[in-house]
Amino acid sequence: MTIDFKELKDHPRLLLEVALKPVQGSRFQPTGFPDLGAATFKGFDGEGNTVDCLIVESAQSMANRLEAVCWDESESKLVMSLAGLPYVESTLPDGTVTDSIREAHRLNSPYIASSKSKEFEEIKTEIGFEANKPFDRRKLAKALFKFDPCSLIHGTFLEKIGGVVRLPRVLSAFIEASGIEVASAGGVKIDRVQPASGESTPYGKAAEGYGNVPYHRDEYTARAITAYFNVDLAQVRGYGLGDEAENLLIGLSLFKIQKFLSEGLRLRTACDLEVTEGLKVKRPIGYIVPDLSVLEKSIPPLIQASKKLFANPAVTKLKYSK
């Protein structure tokens, strides 16, 4: 089996869903938001009845997780299947090395976009932003594909260059749970040296970590946990990069999805999930997504076919300077 790109040609979106469940037990810990905690909301079932729902993983967090599966932490480089794919590497004055794959804001990281290096100036030139003039986003797409194709999939906002230098995500995803119930629990942090509790101990305050500190936490159970994936095929075609580049971007998106489902579902200590029923394709109906082993073999030829559009060398190395 190979990736069937022809079946996607006339469709604007590839919509996927997959059912998940906790690896052990029935409880799980959702993502939390500052000053909000877990994000609960009222949803609707198939008959229009309200149902209690929960965001297990947000779109922003999922974008980072889908990027993380592309990186081999033990080798500090892209995973083998993605070898040859361009990205930007920045070396800081103290010798620390970071890159556009792992940085929170990708190419817009201050360690990359705020650098005065000639290499980043070259990227800016190819993006072609000029103040007070209409901005050509196809030129932006071409430059990003040259220096970091993953940033096209992840989405880009290079406000350090210009407020209009942005593209939405090609691949977006989130995880929701429905039919939720709160599972309240708690515990105590034990201080074996000074097991007092309260505002202070002979050594220091409880807020500083001294003494026995009780705590509580809310986990959840759910009738259903579902991961949703949306590949914007119309957006990819709108870049005008040609069939080979489009195929690579779609193939990379499918690779990220399948690798995340295979290796990335331990979201937190108390949120370790697994697939229960496999990917369901909602649109286009009948499309079959290749499994991970097929994608791992299919991506290298797609990278090779697009090599003429990449930076040479593929990894643009800059030295951070202000």
pLDDT at 312: 95
Query: Per the structure block, which two tokens stand in for 259?
Result: 């690798």
pLDDT at 235: 96
pLDDT at 185: 80
- What is the distance between the alpha carbons of residues 88 and 317, in angstroms, rounded to a whole number? 6
Provide the CB-side half-sphere exposure for 224 (13 A, CA). 12
pLDDT at 201: 62
- What is the distance between the alpha carbons of residues 242 and 220, in angstroms, rounded to a whole number? 46
pLDDT at 36: 80
Please identify which residue in the block is written with the tokens 């794919």. Answer: 85
Burial code (b: 16+ CB inside 10 Å, e: under 16) for 15-43 equals bbebebbbeeeeebbbbeeeeeebebeeb
Query: Per the structure block, which two tokens stand in for 112?
Result: 């990359």
pLDDT at 197: 63
In 3-state terms, what secondary structure has residue 219? strand
- What is the distance between the alpha carbons of residues 178 and 17, in angstroms, rounded to a whole number? 14
Q: If the chain, 322 residues long, is cut into consecutive pieces of 10 residues, what is the mean pLDDT of each piece?
A: 90 98 95 84 88 95 95 94 96 93 90 88 90 90 96 91 92 97 84 70 73 80 97 96 97 98 94 95 96 96 97 94 78
